[in-house]
Chain A
Amino acid sequence: MTTSLADHLRALPDESLAALLQLRPDLVVPVPADVTALAVRAESRVSVARALDGLDQFTLQVLDAARLTRRPEDGTSSTDAVLAITTAGPHPPAPTSVRSALDRLRALFLLYGPESALRVAGGVDEVAPYPAGLGRPAAELDPRAAALCADAAKLRRTLLAAPPSARAVLDRLAAGPPVGSVPPGALQAPAVGAEDELPPDPTNGGAPTGSPVRWLVDARLLVRVSTGTVELPREVGLLLRRDSGPLGPLRTSPPPVAGTLREPKLADSAGAGQTMELVRHTEALLESLAAEPAPVLRSGGVGVRDLRRLARVTGLDEAATALVLEVAYAAGLVGETDLPGATTTRYGADQQVLPTGGYEVWRAVSLAHRWEQLARAWLTMSRQVGLVGQRDDRDRPISVLSAEAERAGAPAARRAVLEVLADLAPATAPSPDEVLALLDWRAPRRSRGREAAHREVLTEAAQLGVTGLGALTSYGRLLLAEVTEADGRGGGDPLGLRSDAESGEPSSAVRALDALLPAPVDHFLVQADLSVVVPGPPDPMLAAELDVVAEHESAGGASVHRVTTASVRRALDAGYTTEDLHALFRRRSRTPVPQGLTYLVDDVARRHGGLRVGSAGGYVRSDDEALLAEVLADRRLEPLGFRRLAPTVLVTPYQVQRMLLALRDAGYAPVPEDATGAAVLARPKTRRAPARAATGHSVDPLAAPKPAMPRLLGVVEQMRRGDAATRAARRAPAVVRGGAARAAAGPMPAHSHSDALAVLQQALRDKALVWVGYVDAHGATASRLVRPVSIGAGYLRAEDERTEMLHTFALHRITAAVREG
């Protein structure tokens, strides 16, 4: 008696069911209605695939063993059978590890039932069609192949007779998957007489056989399952695997990751150096974006040209720049905004990317904090930056920040790779291949096809300073632990209250990194070549001062600036006085200030402000200085606010007209002049209304009109037609009108379609008026008073007298016709 999974689940105690739901949380979204629904879902393709994804290679192999040992009669397997097949190979695993793998599978209900009758959950066969990479039994494929397989000795002989090239094909299929595709036509026998034209078999060395696959198909070692596809029967596969065991090589424990042992201090230090670089590059990139925001492409993201520009600014290559930009975006330091107004005429450039307000906050916190913010964003962002610059399915380049680089699996991939590093002893640097091999063992279904992404994680981690010299740094380890913990807590803290509460306190990763990073310095060294060296990261005050008084030259652990004429002028423009500058250099410099610098400051200050620029509304000039003095002293002109620029020039903030009037009122005789100095002569302008035509009265409005005869006749005709229209405006008969009422009434009235046609034909002959009821294209009923003109080809053509228009009605749409009475 077979029991379904539903029966089995129903028989379980509550705790066991809860345990299943905990292991496969996707089963409760949405909550299943009953246990039957739960069982259906647990055997569904999606859920099974999810459960399989999380299994390691060995457990999957044990599941395959259970699938292979199913008894054909009832489809069940047993623990003993599984043990027998798994230990059949040359390096049998310990039975305990097989049993524990079976327990894991049973806990997931991928296998269920008693140990003597294990059933495989439905859906497994759909998700992974070829157990252990073996094909279907020959009996299911082809009777002739089955016959060959049944004769063990013959099968062996045939195998040994296979030419080397065919054997190579067999070996590849035996390693799994057992299905291969062949080019169309490869399986066809050569045309008669054309055998000699076949190229000799390169590996065979013997007579030309054509394609090795064709040889195999002919020998029944491969079975053709569809055009262009061949399958290796299970029996042949098992025979080929006799050296490695029926399941292939089994590995009960993960492949070892040895790695190179680095000195922890050096690894940390290299990583810390890289963190400083990352923060500096981010800042340089964002500053550049602030100065010149990058337009958003119509397809989303930032274009290659802008990326190149940013790469030039940061001095990184494009891939690294893309990463910095993506991380900054994920950290909320960059955002898109609509262009203010129409500042550009370029089509589609209506959004641009520039630093957000969060950038200001970010800039104010310590180096380690800034790094943490970036690194956290990187760990959790669902972007695969390595895709930037590659081409998408439609062969279009993927641009940075575009939706094409979005990969939901990216955070999990990062976590998986970094956890491999974190599981190693501190400062161990494994090779990428070792890491990939381990990931492949841990979750083969998940890591397949993600090798490139995993490699990228390693390079990105190095660029972010999460790793140093290839090993996870101490602070990187702490950060990873924190993020993992926060994620694990996610279920218990859905509102994120706890993480908010502790945000004031620097995390342990920040503290660890802080200890590695240099402390800010508040002094610099000034040298005779006017270079200013800050031997460490400058404290914010010092940085702000240097930004003003010197040009930036080189950055890194220290920063080098140079004082130039232009930078001193800038400082003076910004409000520094000569004394301030001297004091600044004296106060901040650890070394004596070189004479050249002091001289430079004085020299620039001497010339600073040698020219004065301002704006004025108007001026008064005169060669007569005494006259100007008089104007300046005139109390009546005080409201004009004259200022004396030179003995012969006064300026006022007011406009020329006002000044002219005021001066004239005060009894002076000013003459206005234009920009070239020529006198402007002005005559008073008389005000006039706009010109208009004269109004003439040629017609007496009171005289009676005398209309002409034709016009009167026209009036009469119009009146007659109006009369006819009034007659016609009588309501149409009810039978024509009442389409809707009829439908509600149910049975069709006596007035049928053929009656209507008869009425119409009669009216056509009589040239009489008819009420026609019809259904229009929208299904609404309508009626019209018309005079039929013709009937034919399924259409009635008729004239509407009121509108003088010719209408065409489809006959099948006409519901009724009544002679106008």
Chain B
Amino acid sequence: MSGGPLIVQSDKTLLLEIDHPDARACRMAIAPFAELERSPEHVHTYRLTPLGLWNARAAGHDAEAVVDALIKYSRYPVPHALLVDVAETMDRYGRLQLANDPAYGLVLRALDRLVLIEVAKSKKLAGMLGAKIDDDTIAVHPSERGRLKQALLKLGWPAEDLAGYVDGEAHPIELAESGKDGGKPFTLRSYQREAVEAFWAGGSGVVVLPCGAGKTLVGAAAMAEAKATTLILVTNTVAGRQWKRELIARTSLTEDEIGEYSGERKEIRPVTIATYQVLTSRRGGAFTHLDLFSARDWGLVVYDEVHLLPAPIFRFTADLQARRRLGLTATLVREDGREGDVFSLIGPKRYDAPWKDIEQQGWIAPAECTEVRVTLTDAERMSYATAEAEERYRMAATARTKLPVVRALVQRHAHEQVLVIGGYIDQLHQLGEYLDAPIVQGSTTNKERERLFDAFRSGELRTLVISKVGNFSIDLPEAAVAIQVSGTFGSRQEEAQRLGRVLRPKADGRQAHFYTVVSRDTIDTEYAAHRQRFLAEQGYAYTIVDADDVLGPSLPSLD
């Protein structure tokens, strides 16, 4: 029995004890084929999934190597059945290949004839396959490339996509690492470089990096690698502007080369930034802006915040399989569980680093998470107790008792930039008045938003109250404290996004603080626990304190 750091569980999870001396080597060995699922402080959990094993196979690892790694680092005997299963699963990948045939165009080619016969009979593939060319080859219409891959994955015979990518319309893009227009020189961080390399080698795929770790820069570097016209899909206009600003600062692109395709403007330029919203807007049941995808011969499509990708975009993406696709996200967790579609349509995960690792390297600010539990007043408890079920969360989340606690927290961090984030507009207005701070919400005009954000960035404005619009892609590097008063029920990725607001490294290396104010003994607490689970699994330990400790005269140290 070797005293290895890894314990193989029969549900195909791998437990890695990270305090073990071999933990680092083991992590390197298993990372190619196992998905990191949780990384709390002592034992990281990886999972062996068919997707992960096929990923490894695609990257050139064979089953023998995987089995060897498992046996070498495992502390206890590894069940024979699991080893057999790993080998069999990996063997399924690549029995079918999508390839370009000089005579017939896109074809599905089988290395194992029986598999081809099996899948050709499947009802799920009806209409996707064309004429049979010979015993091992079936023609495929190029437009079905995405859907076919999706369907084959569901059948458990993922095809290796060897059909390659079109180069797209060339457009010179360079990273301005030496500094541009008097800007500061910069270099790509090591993990950003690795992420871009992994993506480029794989062709298409998703890069998972924590908020604040510089995903925009990964996108820019990928564009510099592609040197082609690029379509960037972002969640909203403000995020689009940030991309534009960042691209102008960090690459050779000029303002004229970057177009904005949003509700306000419809520019199509060599690099075009479009919002999900405008693409999915319908008029008379038809998507009116689909032409954008064929407006130019795009060489690269970048999907920002892939975990929010709306369902219609998946459908468009199925038609874009010949173009390189880069997905950027902080988490692959989708509340709708469509991770498999991300895999087959955008691509497998190409790079992923645990948040804590990047924090330890100093690229994101260390953060301390605190949950403050507020005890409702008797009157509030009474009205909560008698409220209708659907009203309860709102009542608990917007309890007035939270206001003084928020103020106490703001005062505690009087010298730092504080964001107060909430989900209910009424509550935000109350907070705005109570704290005497401006509000950014959905109805705030883009111009006003920009103004407020600029003021906040420059330090003129210390406290800002923002609604759900602040969940995504707002770059406020100096925000060091976030206070969350209410959220979207139990959404895990929302919590991660909000924490991301304060994770940008601070100029003086200060610690970031993330507070969640919840009402005790209500459904608010339950949702909070659900939301926190994702971060706890990323290694962010929550401390729970009572509101009295925050409000009380003698402030005990939270550290």
Q: Are A and B bound to each other?
A: yes
Give residues in A with beta carbon < 8 Å to B.
Answer: 266, 268-274, 276-277, 280, 315, 462-463, 465, 467-469, 516-518, 525, 527-531, 533, 535-536, 554-558, 560, 565, 591, 594-596, 599-600, 603, 607
Q: Is the CB of A528 within 8 A of B41?
A: yes
Q: Is the CB of B42 within 8 A of A270?
A: no
Q: Is B17 an interface residue (CB 8 A)?
A: yes
Q: A274's contact among B13, B79, B529, by CB below 8 Å, is which?
A: B79
Q: Is the CB of A273 within 8 A of B544?
A: no
- B373 smallest CB distance to A (angstroms): 8
Q: Is the CB of A560 within 8 A of B536?
A: no
Q: Is B110 an interface residue (CB 8 A)?
A: no
Neighbouring A residues of B41 by C-beta, 8 Å: 527-528, 591
Q: Is the CB of B10 within 8 A of A269?
A: no
Q: Is the CB of B79 within 8 A of A273?
A: yes
Interface centre among A280, A527, A594, A603 (most CB of B within 10 A): A527
Neighbouring B residues of A465 by C-beta, 8 Å: 79-80
User: In the complex, A531→B43 CA distance in Å?
Assistant: 9
Q: Is B177 an interface residue (CB 8 A)?
A: no
Q: Given A269-B77, A273-B77, A276-B77, do A527 and B8 touch, yes or no (CB 8 Å)?
A: no
Q: Is the CB of A527 within 8 A of B40?
A: yes
Q: Is the CB of B15 within 8 A of A273?
A: no
Neighbouring A residues of B1 by C-beta, 8 Å: 269, 516, 518
The 8 closest A-B pairs by CB, nearest first: A556-B9, A528-B541, A273-B77, A529-B536, A557-B76, A273-B79, A272-B77, A527-B40
Q: Is the CB of B15 within 8 A of A528?
A: no
Q: Is the CB of B81 within 8 A of A554?
A: no
Q: Given A462-B80, A528-B542, do A555 and B42 touch, yes or no (CB 8 Å)?
A: no
Q: Is B359 an interface residue (CB 8 A)?
A: no
B contacts with A: majority SS: mixed
Neighbouring A residues of B540 by C-beta, 8 Å: 528
Question: What are 9 A-to-B residue pairs whose CB atoms are below 8 Å?
Answer: A272-B77, A276-B79, A469-B80, A533-B42, A535-B15, A556-B7, A556-B10, A596-B541, A596-B544
Neighbouring A residues of B542 by C-beta, 8 Å: 528, 596
- B547 smallest CB distance to A (angstroms): 13
Q: Is the CB of B533 within 8 A of A529?
A: yes
Q: Is the CB of A557 within 8 A of B43?
A: no
Segment 493-540 of B: residues with Cβ below 8 Å from A? 520-521, 529, 533, 536-537, 539-540
Q: Given A276-B77, A607-B521, do A591 and B541 touch, yes or no (CB 8 Å)?
A: no
Interface centre among B11, B13, B81, B540 (most CB of A within 10 A): B81
Neighbouring A residues of B539 by C-beta, 8 Å: 528
Closest B residue to A599 by beta carbon equals B544
Q: Given A529-B40, A596-B541, do A315 and B80 touch, yes or no (CB 8 Å)?
A: no
Neighbouring A residues of B75 by C-beta, 8 Å: 518, 535-536, 557
- B40 smallest CB distance to A (angstroms): 4
One digit per residue, 1 when the CB lies within 8 angstroms of any chain A CB and 0 when it does not, for chain B 1-30 equals 100000111110101010000000000000
Q: Is the CB of B11 within 8 A of A556?
A: yes
Q: Given A529-B38, A535-B17, do A557 and B80 touch, yes or no (CB 8 Å)?
A: no
Give residues in B with beta carbon < 8 Å to A.
Answer: 1, 7-11, 13, 15, 17, 38, 40-43, 45, 71, 74-84, 520-521, 529, 533, 536-537, 539-544
User: In the complex, A462→B83 CA distance in Å?
Assistant: 12
Q: Is the CB of B81 within 8 A of A516?
A: no
Closest B residue to A527 by beta carbon equals B40
Q: Given A277-B10, A528-B41, do A271 and B544 touch, yes or no (CB 8 Å)?
A: no
Q: Given A529-B537, A557-B7, do A463 and B71 touch, yes or no (CB 8 Å)?
A: no
Q: Is the CB of B80 within 8 A of A270?
A: yes
Closest B residue to A270 by beta carbon equals B80
Q: Is the CB of A277 within 8 A of B7?
A: no
User: In the complex, A530→B541 CA distance in Å?
Assistant: 10
Q: B15's contact among A516, A530, A533, by CB below 8 Å, is which?
A: A533
Neighbouring A residues of B82 by C-beta, 8 Å: 273, 277
Q: Is the CB of B81 within 8 A of A463?
A: yes
Q: Is the CB of A558 within 8 A of B81?
A: no
Neighbouring A residues of B79 by C-beta, 8 Å: 270, 273-274, 276-277, 465, 556
Q: B11's contact among A274, A533, A555, A599, by CB below 8 Å, is which?
A: A555
Interface centre among A268, A272, A467, A557 (most CB of B within 10 A): A557
- B1 smallest CB distance to A (angstroms): 6
Neighbouring B residues of A280 by C-beta, 8 Å: 10
User: In the complex, A95→B204 CA distance in Å?
Assistant: 72
Given contacts A276-B77, A531-B43, A607-B521, 18 further A-B contacts (CB under 8 A): A266-B71, A270-B80, A273-B76, A277-B81, A280-B10, A516-B1, A527-B41, A528-B40, A536-B7, A536-B75, A554-B9, A554-B11, A556-B79, A557-B9, A557-B77, A558-B15, A560-B9, A560-B15
Neighbouring B residues of A528 by C-beta, 8 Å: 40-41, 536, 539-542
- B153 smallest CB distance to A (angstroms): 21
Closest B residue to A267 by beta carbon equals B80
Neighbouring A residues of B78 by C-beta, 8 Å: 269-270, 273, 557
User: In the complex, A528→B78 CA distance in Å?
Assistant: 28
User: In the complex, A447→B307 CA distance in Å?
Assistant: 59
User: In the complex, A84→B187 CA distance in Å?
Assistant: 90
Q: Is the CB of A536 within 8 A of B43?
A: no
Q: Is the CB of A527 within 8 A of B77?
A: no
User: In the complex, A193→B455 CA distance in Å?
Assistant: 107
Closest B residue to A533 by beta carbon equals B43
Neighbouring A residues of B537 by C-beta, 8 Å: 529
Closest A residue to B71 by beta carbon equals A266
Neighbouring B residues of A269 by C-beta, 8 Å: 1, 71, 77-78
Neighbouring B residues of A556 by C-beta, 8 Å: 7-11, 13, 79
Neighbouring A residues of B81 by C-beta, 8 Å: 274, 277, 462-463
Q: Is the CB of B80 within 8 A of A525?
A: no
Q: Is the CB of B77 within 8 A of A270?
A: yes
Closest A residue to B82 by beta carbon equals A273
User: In the complex, A182→B78 CA distance in Å?
Assistant: 55
Neighbouring A residues of B11 by C-beta, 8 Å: 315, 554-556
User: In the complex, A266→B78 CA distance in Å?
Assistant: 9
Closest B residue to A274 by beta carbon equals B80
Interface centre among B40, B79, B542 (most CB of A within 10 A): B79
Q: Given A270-B78, A527-B41, do A554 and B13 touch, yes or no (CB 8 Å)?
A: yes
Neighbouring A residues of B533 by C-beta, 8 Å: 529
User: In the complex, A273→B43 CA distance in Å?
Assistant: 21
User: In the complex, A525→B42 CA distance in Å?
Assistant: 7
Q: Is the CB of B10 within 8 A of A315?
A: yes
Neighbouring B residues of A268 by C-beta, 8 Å: 77
- A144 smallest CB distance to B (angstroms): 49
- A111 smallest CB distance to B (angstroms): 47
User: In the complex, A280→B79 CA distance in Å?
Assistant: 12
Interface centre among B11, B45, B71, B78 (most CB of A within 10 A): B78
User: In the complex, A598→B533 CA distance in Å?
Assistant: 16
- B529 smallest CB distance to A (angstroms): 8
Neighbouring B residues of A516 by C-beta, 8 Å: 1, 77
- A343 smallest CB distance to B (angstroms): 34
Q: Is the CB of A557 within 8 A of B13?
A: no
Closest A residue to B534 by beta carbon equals A529
- B26 smallest CB distance to A (angstroms): 14
User: In the complex, A815→B543 CA distance in Å?
Assistant: 114
User: In the complex, A276→B8 CA distance in Å?
Assistant: 12
Q: Is the CB of B536 within 8 A of A555?
A: no
User: In the complex, A280→B76 CA distance in Å?
Assistant: 15
- B70 smallest CB distance to A (angstroms): 10
- A672 smallest CB distance to B (angstroms): 32
User: In the complex, A269→B42 CA distance in Å?
Assistant: 26
Q: Is the CB of B544 within 8 A of A595?
A: yes
Closest B residue to A558 by beta carbon equals B7
User: In the complex, A323→B459 CA distance in Å?
Assistant: 70
Neighbouring A residues of B45 by C-beta, 8 Å: 560
Q: Is the CB of A518 within 8 A of B42?
A: no
User: In the complex, A557→B10 CA distance in Å?
Assistant: 8
- B27 smallest CB distance to A (angstroms): 17
Q: Is the CB of B80 within 8 A of A468?
A: yes
User: In the complex, A484→B540 CA distance in Å?
Assistant: 58
